Amino acid sequence: MATLEKIRSRSILLISIIGLALFAFIIGDFLNSGSTYFGQSRLEVVKVNDEAVKIDKFQEKVDDLAEIYKAQTGNSQVSEEMMEQLRQSVFESIVRENIIDEQAQKLGLSVTSKELFELATGANPHPIIAQNMRMFYDENGNFDRESFLQFLNSINAQPENAQQAAQVESARKYWLFWENRIKYSQLEMKYTTLLQKAVVVNELEAQLAFDNRKPSVDIAYVLKPYAAIADSTVKVSDAEISALYKKEKENYKQKEENRDIKYVVFSVKPSEADFDKVKEWMEKQKEEFTTAENIEDLLNTSSDVPYMNYRLAAKDVDADFRDFAFASPKGAATDLILSNGVYKMARVLDAKVNAPDSVRVRHILVYAENDEATAALADSILGAIKGGADFAQLAEKYSRNTSTAANGGEIGWLKEQDLDKDMIQPCFYGSDKVFTVKTTNGTHVMEVEEKTANVEKVHLAILERAVEASSNTFSTYYNEATNFVNQNKTADKFKAAAEEAGYSVREMSGMTVNTPRLGQIKNSRQVVRWAFEAKEGTVSDVFSCDDDFVVALLDKVHPKGYRSQADVADVLKSSIVKEKKMEMLTADLNAAGNDLQQVASSMQTSVDTLRGVNFAQPRVATGFEPNLVGLAPFKAVGEKATVEAQNGVMLFQVLDKTESTASFDAANEAAQLEAKYQYVIPQAYYEVLKDQAEVKDNRARFY
């Protein structure tokens, strides 16, 4: 009983302890799950309304697009600048597709697989295929549906080995990319068609458009330019600037924060010692270069230009060596040349020959489980072709190169330098039209379809070494930049010291968090990231940007929302100055008695004319002049008036006026207006939807 009493007396304490333990457990679980949630959200690159794309999926799309770019351009590498464009393209596609999807779901719009198949393989394939998959069109522009269907079947076939699997996967991604583009193009077409059908022009609107187009005038005019009055003579008060700011404040609302920086670039250039070092090295190589029988190893290990196992036509030879190459015998060598920061010399390796400049070839790439099987298959195909079989059909059936197989094996016109070294001799100097060539990636059954006329060719060796800044030179520039930072930690000191030292201070205004770089400075994205982490007035440390060192000053932060009056004061002042100039010029013209000739004489110019000024055409011979075309057609013959033009104030007089005698055709007029609206709608609707969508762009976290 005593024990029970003790338990009862301490029950409140026990309950409290248990309650706290449960609370801690619940809160701990919440925090753990919460950290998972927030961790997941930090992986989001872009979010459109409620749909988010995480970094792994985003990067996968970027990588796929990079492969498409390589396939379309033939480039094996993607520059950082192009990669930035690809990331931007992926971002815009994600936003657009999500916005279109949301609208389509609301309206019950879709593109079925049957519809998509018809768009791709029907009698009139979608324009996206016509524009981007030309390998399925013949020389007359006819779509080869049979080849295209074979291509679609091939990307769904079971690969026989790892190499084939990689090729199939690459081709499959290539097609899925364009298929997706076709799908959304069709979906947008359906959506815009609905919008276009919703626009109906009524008879009153048609009548107004017709009436406005009826009068047309010829005018004489004199333009008194705004530049006739110096800006410094026009006084603008702070009160006037404030009044205009209040009136036009909505024009200065920005959707995202942006920042202004000033920066100094220390561009690293090779020193005199760097030039001397490369020159000395080249001089040491000269004897071996000019005498060695096996020069290939020297060039491949030491030269910026590797050994060239092909001959060149004159137009393909370095201009510095062209005359020497075709006027010198075998074994001749040039002296050492310095050109555009590069030391180089050349040697003629063989006597000149006459050979085709280019050849047009097609091929069938084959490989099997072993060399013997590959050779047997290649020989079988070669025999069939020599026996009269159709090369294109065999290429489509047997070639492992899916990109050329779909086009009958066609590669196109090639020079010697475009070919594998083992292909040069049979293609350019052999007598057989059809032959096989074994390479590292398989055996090629090749056909030379056509050759250009013979030209003189030469076989050259070129030893070349560019002069680059040494580590000592980089250190010199880095120390200079570091000293500048250490001595100038404030905005005022930064600006004053840069001016005193004669450094060029560059500016980057309106920089957003996703600005890819500073101008054309490579690897300068890091400066942008710093600018959005720093406080206004901060001077950065030294940034290493390839061959440049950069020191930046965060000059101004412009938060999201309305720009301050101070930020836009210069723009407002310019607007007020222009308005006052217009009033002054108008007064001057009126004081001159509206005499066009007198005004022209005082300006040492002449009276000009404009013919056919019509309300329906805001652009005249002098440019875009909506004020003029809105006034002149409704003035009487002989009447004069002044009007604000784009570059000044115009005094004009109506010389002649005509009224259209055409009768009003309501249906025709409405059709013209609807055609105009239907053209505008596809251009404008997306921006409206995009403004309404909630788009979160987090790319700056990752790139």
Q: What is residue 123's predicted lDDT score, i.e. its pLDDT?
A: 84
Closest to 465 measured CA to CA, from 654, 594, 339, 287: 339
pLDDT in tens, 252-289: 999 899 999 999 999 999 999 999 999 999 999 999 99
The pTM of the full predicted model, rounded to 2 decimals, is 0.71
* pLDDT higher than 70, residue 117: yes
The DSSP annotation for 393-461 comes to: HHHHHH-S-HHHHTTTTEEEEE-GGGS-HHHHIIIII-S-SEEEEEETTEEEEEEEEEEPPEEEEE-EE
Report the pLDDT value the prediction gives residue 7, as an integer from 0 to 100. Answer: 34
Query: What pLDDT band is residue 695 in, cutting at 50, 70 and 90?
Result: very high
pLDDT of residue 40: 65
Query: Residue 194 CB: number of other CB atoms within 10 A?
Result: 12
Q: What is the pLDDT of residue 283?
A: 96
pLDDT of 31 over the 60 cut = no
Q: Is the pLDDT of residue 24 over 70?
A: no
Which of 282, 74, 81, 237 minimizes the C-alpha distance to 572?
A: 237
CB 631 within 8 A of CB 618: no
Whether the pLDDT of residue 38 is over 60: the answer is no
pLDDT for 459 equals 97
Predicted local distance difference test score (pLDDT) of residue 417: 96
DSSP 143-158: B-HHHHHHHHHHTTSP
| 6 — pLDDT class (breaks 50, 70, 90) | very low
Measured between alpha carbons, how far is 457 from 358 in angstroms, rounded to an integer?
Answer: 12
CA distance 426 to 429: 6
For the chain, the average pLDDT equals 91
Position 661 pLDDT exceeds 90: no
User: For residues 140 and 666, which has the higher predicted lDDT (pLDDT)?
Assistant: 666
Q: Which residues of 415-427 are buried (b: 16+ CB within 10 A; e: fewer)?
A: bbebbeeebbebb
Mean pLDDT of 99-107: 96
pLDDT attached to residue 161: 83
* pLDDT at position 16 over 80: no
520-534, 580-594, 641-655: least confidently modelled range: 580-594
Instruction: Convert the pLDDT of each residue in 154-212 to its tens digit.
Output: 888 888 788 888 888 988 999 999 999 999 999 999 999 999 999 899 999 999 989 88
